């Protein structure tokens, strides 16, 4: 049987009617692959549940004057309330946590925090903490590393801006720090360089990290392509998802539509469970792209969270939106590229239905668990 015919075969039809009984090597291959996939999926669910995914945002403004660095840290209320609970008003330990969580270095030498101010309450509810660093030499290059708040929120995003010390409202450098990308290097603190290209790269990286770290989005993508009957159908499904989430991402980003995360996140979990169980019980998937488009609209609302609160300048809106969405697509292509060879192998023998059933059942259970977690627990 040619590969084309196998792709067109109903994935849940009995392979023994077409070929002899499954060979032992094929059986062990699908058992091993299914076990690894199940283990990975359960690990994703465990990891997602093990961390608080608040999706919080913090910011800092840095000024440099000779050997002195002034670091103004802006802490959101949801993070500061956790810090207060953990340190129970013990000011020295809180200051130590804040100063040790940010490491600044120049000329390959670490700058020393010499002064940590009291958290100052703002009208917004945020707290501003002023930290003064002293460096061994006059600062020219700057390496910023931060581990702050990732122990509280695994999806925390920190926006760093370096300002002109003589004109603090003028920003010469900016970067975005996340749990997987917690460092930011500046070759020359006084020269802005190509700021637009640098910002575009940062938002691209943020989009890629968001899709690769968003286990719910990954499992949804895998679920929808498991039962595609041809390469063209797979492209149609992925394209419909891309168009849909790009549409709602843009509309939500510009404030045209708005839906609370408490509604969006359970719906995303429900979409995962629905598609996974449909893989098991449904026989006809010709209109899968329509279903994927509908659920893609919901996933787009989930993508907008880490982007909307980071962009400050109105002049950056279109650039940041385009770069962020491009990063999401790059991550999506990477996911499909990794799973495609395995699906191609399974498509050539009778083991595919067994794998699809097990993998879909596993994903469906995880989707139901996430739905309950996001609505009840």
CA angle 10, 14, 16 (to 5 degrees): 130
pLDDT of residue 309: 58
- State mean pLDDT over 40-69: 70
pLDDT of residue 2: 43
Sign, Cα dihedral of 132, 133, 137, 139? negative
pLDDT of residue 89: 59
Share of the chain above pLDDT 70, in %: 79
- State mean pLDDT over 169-175: 80
Which segment of 3-17, 121-135, 185-199 scores lowest on mean pLDDT?
Answer: 3-17
pLDDT of residue 61: 92
pLDDT of residue 10: 41
More confident site: 89 or 262: 262
pLDDT of residue 187: 80
- pLDDT of 191 over the 90 cut: no
Which segment of 61-70, 123-132, 324-333, 339-348 scores lowest on mean pLDDT?
Answer: 339-348
- pLDDT of 34 over the 60 cut: no
284-335 pLDDT, tens per residue?
A: 777 888 999 999 999 999 888 766 655 555 556 778 788 888 888 888 888 8
69-119 pLDDT, tens per residue?
A: 999 999 999 899 888 888 765 678 888 899 899 999 998 899 999 999 999
């Amino acid at each position: 049987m040619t590969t084309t015919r196998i792709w067109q075969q109903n994935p849940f039809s009995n392979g023994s009617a077409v070929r002899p009984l499954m060979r032992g090597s094929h059986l062990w291959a699908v058992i091993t692959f299914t076990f690894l996939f199940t283990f990975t999926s359960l690990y994703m669910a465990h990891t997602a549940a093990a961390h608080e995914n608040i999706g919080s945002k913090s910011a800092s403004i840095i000024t440099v004057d000779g050997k002195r660095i002034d670091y103004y840290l802006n802490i959101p209320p949801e993070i500061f309330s956790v810090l207060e609970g953990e340190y129970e008003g013990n000011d020295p330990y809180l200051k130590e946590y804040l100063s040790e969580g940010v490491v600044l270095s120049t000329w390959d030498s670490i700058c020393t925090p010499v002064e940590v101010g009291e958290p100052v309450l703002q009208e917004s509810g945020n707290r501003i903490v002023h930290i003064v660093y002293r460096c061994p030499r006059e600062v020219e290059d700057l390496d910023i590393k931060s581990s702050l708040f990732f122990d509280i929120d695994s999806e925390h995003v920190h926006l760093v801006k370096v300002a002109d010390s003589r004109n603090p409202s003028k920003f010469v450098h900016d970067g975005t720090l996340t749990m997987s990308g917690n460092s930011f290097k500046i070759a020359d603190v006084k020269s802005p360089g190509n700021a637009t290209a640098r910002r575009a790269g940062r938002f691209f990286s943020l989009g890629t990290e968001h899709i690769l770290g968003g286990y719910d989005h990954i499992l949804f993508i895998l679920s929808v392509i498991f039962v595609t009957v041809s390469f063209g159908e797979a492209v149609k499904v992925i394209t419909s998802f891309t168009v849909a989430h790009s549409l709602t991402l843009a509309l939500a980003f510009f404030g045209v539509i708005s839906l609370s995360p408490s509604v969006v996140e359970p719906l995303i979990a429900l979409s995962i469970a629905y598609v996974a169980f449909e893989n098991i019980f449904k026989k006809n998937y010709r209109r899968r792209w329509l279903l994927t488009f509908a659920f893609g609209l919901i996933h787009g609302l989930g993508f907008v969270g880490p982007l909307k609160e980071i962009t400050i300048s109105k002049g950056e809106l279109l650039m940041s939106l385009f770069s962020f969405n491009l990063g999401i697509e790059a991550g999506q292509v990477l996911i499909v590229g990794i799973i495609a060879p395995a699906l191609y192998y399974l498509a050539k023998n009778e083991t595919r239905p067994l794998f699809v059933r097990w993998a879909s059942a596993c994903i469906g259970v995880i989707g139901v668990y996430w739905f309950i977690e996001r609505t009840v627990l």
